Amino acid sequence: MSGMPDLRIEEVTVRFGGRTAVNSISLHAPAGTITGLIGPNGAGKTTTFNACTGVLRPDTGRVHLGELCLNGKPTAARAAAGLGRTFQRMELFDSLTVAENVSMGPEGMFSARRPWGQFWGGRGERSDVARRTRTALERCNLLPAAGRRVGDLSTGQRRLVELARAMASPFRFLLLDEPSSGLDVHETETFGAVLAEHVATTGIGVLLVEHDMSLVAAVCSSIHVLDFGSLIWSGPTAAAMTSPVVQAAYLGGEEAEQAAEEAAAERVGGHA
């Protein structure tokens, strides 16, 4: 589908006091693809997401959604422009049904664009919410569970509810923060297949923060690697899986030192 925007992060730096959490990183996540953003704990991945969504104001740099510069725009305005996000910790309403949770995605978007829509909505809008909700439930294989309380579901099903809510919303680009956390191998494979189909069907772009490298390898066309707040490698997924630079970021100890020595020449040529 044409018309979906790319996400561009240009020389973004985020500091907390004297500590630099993200150090002048630049990356491109194209529409119609799933791009990985990986690295060890504390590398700056979630901080990067927070800078993109307006939760944090970067000290330097710019974030663009297509031709739109997001700098200076509040979180709600960025969401209304089409930038969606999920979180490491699931944000669901356990006492509500699956369908009710999913429908809150498009309902919230419409309300943000038209504040009085929180009190009433037109027939066309209600029909659009119902259509989006049903389509997302179908894509995530959740229709049989539509009337169940979310609090009664397994972790895998709850993750799919979270994804379905993002899919039902009229977002044009998605930031997914460790969406496979807590899932077993089969649930992760199911999640990856649903996500890949959604991207192929809609043309939406996804920037995926994830520690499960099997999921990253299965769905990401390219990968950016962060370590200690700096972008240390960018390139195709297949190359990342064998890169000494990427291995050094994940191993630690003597193994990391050995990998780093092997990566000295690659570190220069591996940057995008």
Calculate helix-pair angle for 185-202, 123-139, nearest 10 degrees: 130
Calculate helix-pair angle for 155-168, 185-202, nearest 10 degrees: 10
Rounded to two decimals, the pTM is: 0.86
The residue count of the chain comes to: 272
Query: What is the token pair recorded at 186?
Result: 């089969």
19 φ, ψ to 5°? -100, 130
Residue 111: helix, strand or coil by DSSP? helix
162-182: pLDDT as tens digits: 999 999 999 999 999 999 988
Contacts 24+ apart (CB under 8 A), 144-153: 145/98, 146/97, 146/98, 146/99, 147/97, 147/98, 147/99, 148/97, 148/98, 149/94, 149/95, 149/96, 149/97, 150/92, 150/93, 150/94, 150/95, 150/96, 150/97, 150/98, 150/101, 151/94, 151/95, 153/98
Report residues of the chain scoring pLDDT below 70: 1-2, 110-124, 250-272
The pLDDT score that the predictor gives to residue 262 is: 53
The pLDDT score that the predictor gives to residue 111 is: 61
Q: Which helix (H) or strand (E) holds 130?
A: helix 123-139
Decide if 177 contacts 166 (C-beta within 8 A): no
Domains of the chain, start order: 1-82+171-272 (3.40.50.300), 83-170 (3.40.50.300)
